[in-house]
Amino acid sequence: MLGVEPGELGALIRPDSKEGAHFRDTMEGGFTGGDEYQKHFLPRDYLATYYSFDGSPSPEAEMLKFNLECLHKTFGPGGLQGDTLIDIGSGPTIYQVLAACESFQDITLSDFTDRNREELEKWLKKEPGAYDWTPVVKFACELEGNSGQWEEKEEKLRATVKRVLKCDVHLGNPLAPAVLPPADCVLTLLAMECACCSLDAYCAALCNLASLLKPGGHLVTTVTLRLSSYMVGKREFSCVALEKEEVEQAVLDAGFDIEQLLQSPQSYSVTNAANNGVCFIVARKKPGP
């Protein structure tokens, strides 16, 4: 998660659901804040729903493959490279930086909730009970033509991730109080639409992400389109439902030139939007004045 502004989570819960009724009981003045994500977003429920990559076909597995393939093409040979990459809204996942760890020297992971950051630290430190990403790492290695080197890939990623920070995309510096040098790349996958209650909030958050980048640096993002809710265990959280054209314009308005835009009909089985699809974008930050 990326942080939820006061009032946003009220918009992120479908009022006609049982979970919505529960949250209404806990709300003060008709809205609540990001503390509810802190309390109720459970990483293992999220991972079990969206990242069980056991070889059986499912919309969730196809979505993961789509993102891994896009990221391989983006960060593979001849693709984006540099010194520093910041992943915003990592959640409890590491798949999104498996390709980038080959082309960047210093990677920052970040998330709003303590539990998600703790889940990341467990895997990075190889602690007992850490989530098993082996099937996903093996698939990423197959894309690179190194299917037998998945253990080396895991160690490379652990060595390249230098820090795990708290983030809130609604702050001018989303990583505050930490201050990092401007990065070569900012990555954010399937997260911004979950943190923003409106198109205006989404546009403002993109401008905040742009502030983390060097002029000429790149934004790489995947956004689920027309999605208004998603499930984490038995809890339902909602998102801002965005159209492709709205995402595209928001990226341009945040000071980027779009270098690649790929729309796919991939969608999740546990969302309330039929044929919502996703949009994968690579954009370059314009030079300053």
Residue 121: both structure tokens together: 């630290």
Whether residue 3 is annotated as binding a ligand: the answer is no
The reply to whether 168 sits in an annotated binding site is yes
Tell me if 111 is assigned to a ligand binding site: yes
Known binder of ligand: residue 132?
A: no
According to the annotation, is 90 in a ligand binding site? yes
Known binding residue 89? Answer is yes
In DSSP notation, the chain reads -----TTHHHHTS-TTSHHHHHHHHH-BTTB--THHHHHH--HHHHHHHH---SSS--HHHHHHHHHHHHHHHHHSTTS--EEEEEESS-TT--GGGTTGGGTEEEEEEEESSHHHHHHHHHHHTT-TT----HHHHHHHHHHTT-TT-HHHHHHHHHHHEEEEEE--TTSSSTTTT---PPEEEEEEES-HHHH-SSHHHHHHHHHHHHTTEEEEEEEEEEEETT--EEEETTEEEE-----HHHHHHHHHHTTEEEEEEEEE----TTBS-TT--EEEEEEEEPPP-
95 labelled ligand-binding? yes
Annotated binding-site residues for S-adenosyl-L-methionine read 46, 51, 89-90, 95, 111, 116, 168-169
Annotated binding-site residues read 46, 51, 89-90, 95, 111, 116, 168-169
